[in-house]
Amino acid sequence: MRSESEEERKNATIDSRFNQTLRNVQGLLKGRSFPGKVLITRRSDPLDNSTMRSPDNHGSLRDSETGPSQQSDGSVEDEMQSRNNLNASPSASQEKSSTSNSENTSNEVQKPSIGSRATDSARLMKFTKELSATTVILEKLRELAWNGVPSYFRPNIWRLLLGYAPPNSDRREGVLRRKRLDYLDCVAQYYDIQDIERTDEEINMLRQIAVDCPRTVPDVSFFQQAQVQKSLERILYIWAIRHPASGYVQGINDLATPFLVVFLSEHVEGSIDNWMMSDLPSEKISDIEADCYWCLSKLLDGMQDHYTFAQPGIQRLVFKLKELVRRIDEPVSTHMEEQGLEFLQFAFRWFNCLLIREIPFHLVTRLWDTYLAEGDALPDFLVYIAASFLLTWSDKLLKLDFQEMVMFLQHLPTHNWSHSELEMVLSRAYMWHAMFNSSPSHLVS
């Protein structure tokens, strides 16, 4: 009887969270073009709770904030209402139609906020409480981090989410010190040596990295600094040497940049445009590089076949993306197919660089809060983020021919994006994941 009641409570939580998410997204999309009308109604068959990961870990999107440096739009009252909704029974949630959900959401959106700072304070208190525990409960931290991490908490939280720093606070300092010394040993062993001690393959790899580093995030002046490029070069070369199955692959240089910015932020102040890495002592630079190296390693451990020969992991994600888009927005899928546009022609870069090249760099760390909160499930969730990203322009794509689509998708109009556009992408991805991930049969004919 106990197990049955626990199962019922779990079902109630998932069901109410789904409906809450549906209401939130419908409210956000009110008055906008909405790709995939299938989302307006809820699936009649129950979801498989054992495989439905995101709703369990992420919590209600009502807690979502617009970004690490922006204030949240909600209020404490809204947040408490969201928590109360989680106690609703499954039958009560299912009786509500999508029409009434939209009306309720519309009314909620029109409510005046009692002050966004209050909600910020509530979220800060939650983060502070989790981080101050002797042993951090990672699942609770993931649930909070999925909706965005305040910038001053981000370095510590990223280390924890990636498993680089241990959850136990008593061990944390010692582990980080040892890992940073290990990185120094690697620099001495692999990098600070003469070319005569390297193989021809290692020399060519180092040269390729040296060519790619100046090309990394070219529109951000910080990455044009000689010290920054040298640090990137060391991190990437040592990673490649220690991961011979893949070696260095173009695109991995992009993946190191969020870590470099986040861990450097612990030692500098102000805008990234004013940061000077050369002003830091060599010991601090070494610690920053070490943290970047180990976190990059942890991230790529979960997607190794994305960067091995022929990159089969990325090709697999591209295929899944094509099927998902066909299911969500068949007119766009059909139009792309009729025009002869292959998903590999644009989506390969998206997955290879985890969308870093497609959005303004100031939004990347917010996006990566969600990436790291997903943990081992990140590769699967990337498909839903990519689908949501693509279908942002569903109406536009229907009007373009092959050549115009290729040019458009290679130069997407995201340069003026703010956190609100990114949150919209993540909200849709969250809901589509909840609908389709545990029902793969819905993605095949």
Distances (CA, A) of 287 to 42, 187, 281, 325: 49, 12, 10, 43
Query: Which residue reads 């066909």 in tokens?
Result: 326
| Alpha-carbon gap, residue 239 to 215, rounded angstroms | 19
Q: Of how many residues is the chain composed? A: 445
Strand partners, 196: none
pLDDT at 149: 96
Strand partners, 168: 135
- Evaluate if pTM is beyond 0.85: no
CA atoms within a 13 Å half-sphere pointing along the CA-CB vector of 85: 27
Task: Give DSSP secondary structure letters for 149-171.
Answer: --TTTHHHHHHHHTTSS-SBHHH
For 228-270, what is the HEC assignment?
A: HHHHHHHHHHHHHHHCCCCCCCCCHHHHHHHHHHHHHCCCCCC
| Alpha-carbon gap, residue 273 to 288, rounded angstroms | 18
pLDDT at 282: 95
Q: Nearest CA to 291 among 231, 242, 357, 244? A: 231
pLDDT at 442: 55
pLDDT at 120: 80
Sequence-ordered list of residues with C-beta below 8 angstroms from that of 185, at least 6 positions apart, any chain = none
Sign of the CA dihedral running 202, 204, 205, 211 = positive
Task: Give DSSP secondary structure letters for 59-128.
Answer: --GGG--S-TTS--SS-HHHHHHHHHHTTS-HHHHHHS-HHHHHHHHHHHHHSPPS-HHHHHHHHHHHHH
**Ordered per-residue pLDDT tens for the chain, 445 residues:** 545 555 555 455 445 444 555 455 445 444 333 333 333 333 334 434 333 344 344 433 333 333 333 433 333 334 434 434 434 444 333 443 444 444 443 343 333 333 344 458 889 999 999 999 999 999 999 999 999 999 999 999 999 999 999 999 999 999 999 999 999 999 999 999 999 999 999 999 999 999 999 999 999 999 999 999 999 999 999 999 999 999 999 999 999 999 999 999 999 999 999 999 999 999 999 999 999 999 999 999 989 899 999 999 999 999 999 999 999 999 999 999 999 999 999 999 999 999 999 999 999 999 999 999 999 999 999 999 999 999 999 999 999 999 999 999 999 999 999 999 999 999 999 999 999 877 655 555 4
Contacts by 90-97, CB closer than 8 A, 24 or more apart: 90/8, 90/11, 90/12, 90/15, 90/16, 93/12, 93/15, 93/16, 93/18, 93/19, 94/15, 94/42, 96/19
Phi, psi of 210 (to 5 degrees): -65, -30
312-438 topology per CATH: Cyclin A; domain 1 (1.10.472)
pLDDT at 374: 97
CB of 36 closer than 8 Å to CB of 328: yes
| Alpha-carbon gap, residue 219 to 378, rounded angstroms | 27
So where are the chain's domains? 171-302, 312-438
CB of 314 closer than 8 Å to CB of 352: yes
Contacts by 262-271, CB closer than 8 A, 24 or more apart: 262/154, 262/155, 262/158, 262/365, 263/155, 263/287, 263/288, 263/291, 263/292, 263/295, 264/288, 265/151, 265/154, 265/155, 266/155
pLDDT at 438: 74
Identity of the residue numbered 77: E
Sequence-ordered list of residues with C-beta below 8 angstroms from that of 167, at least 6 positions apart, any chain = 135, 136, 137, 138, 160
Query: Which residue reads 């498909």 in tokens?
Result: 383
Q: For residue 307, what are its two tokens?
A: 């960067």
| Alpha-carbon gap, residue 333 to 325, rounded angstroms | 6
pLDDT at 43: 37
| Alpha-carbon gap, residue 15 to 9, rounded angstroms | 10
CB of 252 closer than 8 Å to CB of 307: yes
* Burial profile 6-40: b = 16 or more Cβ within 10 angstroms, e = fewer: eeeeebbbbbbbbbbbbbbbbbbbeeeebbbeebe
